[in-house]
């Protein structure tokens, strides 16, 4: 089993990607976690050519429709049975019944995504805070990977699987699974 963290349409420093893979791997001890810094130009070009981004963008909301994006990404990436792909995108997205999502997962497809804009302080008119931003990325990656391993939301506000209704919920919860979730 392998987890691949793949930034798409966004750039990350090589050291940040290495640290992210390392920090995420702490929660998935017996699974190899690697972050890919290789730009998937052919995938991006293909998605643009196929109109995926245009058809997934809601101009009234000025946001991308996460389920549509995930379906399109699945068609392009089709993770192998023993691989899980977690994409990181710097786009604002929503899902059915929600004003926004920080991430979303398709467990049966082995594919998830974390959206960056709303975990950045700049989105709220604040000064950038690299440490806080990084902590939020780790939490959201572990959370979405938890869903990819069929974990549900947890009522424990300190568990990484707790549902974030707001960014303050994300900041309160930890980067780890609670004891109950870990036993799963």
Structure tokens at 179: 């004891």
Q: Which residues of 94-113 are buried (b: 16+ CB within 10 A; e: fewer)?
A: bbeeeeebbbbbbeebbbbb
> Residue 22 and residue 89: Cα distance in Å, rounded?
20
> Residue 146 and residue 82: Cα distance in Å, rounded?
16
77, 85 contact by CB (below 8 A): yes
144 catalytic residue (yes or no) = yes
In the set 27, 104, 140, 144, the catalytic residue is: 144
142, 164 contact by CB (below 8 A): no
37, 7 contact by CB (below 8 A): yes
Sort 43 into a burial class: Cβ within 10 Å, 0-12 / 13-18 / 19+: middle
The catalytic site residues sit at 144
């Amino acid at each position: 089993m392998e987890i691949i963290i793949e930034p798409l349409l966004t750039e990350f420093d090589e050291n940040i990607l290495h640290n992210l893979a390392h920090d995420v791997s702490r929660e998935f001890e017996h699974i190899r976690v690697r972050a890919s810094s290789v730009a998937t130009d052919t995938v991006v070009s293909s998605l643009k050519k196929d109109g995926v981004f245009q058809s997934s963008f809601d101009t009234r909301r000025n946001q991308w429709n996460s389920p549509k994006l995930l379906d399109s990404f699945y068609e392009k990436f089709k993770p192998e049975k023993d691989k899980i792909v977690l994409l990181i995108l710097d786009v604002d997205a929503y899902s059915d019944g929600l004003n926004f999502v920080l991430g979303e997962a398709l467990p049966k497809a082995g594919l998830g995504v974390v959206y960056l804009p709303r975990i950045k302080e700049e989105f709220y008119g604040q000064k950038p805070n690299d440490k806080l931003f990084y902590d939020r990325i780790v939490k959201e990656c572990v959370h979405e990977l938890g869903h990819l391993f069929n974990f549900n939301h947890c009522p424990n506000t300190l568990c990484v699987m707790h549902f974030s209704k707001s960014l303050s919920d994300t900041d309160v919860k930890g980067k780890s699974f609670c004891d109950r979730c870990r036993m799963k």
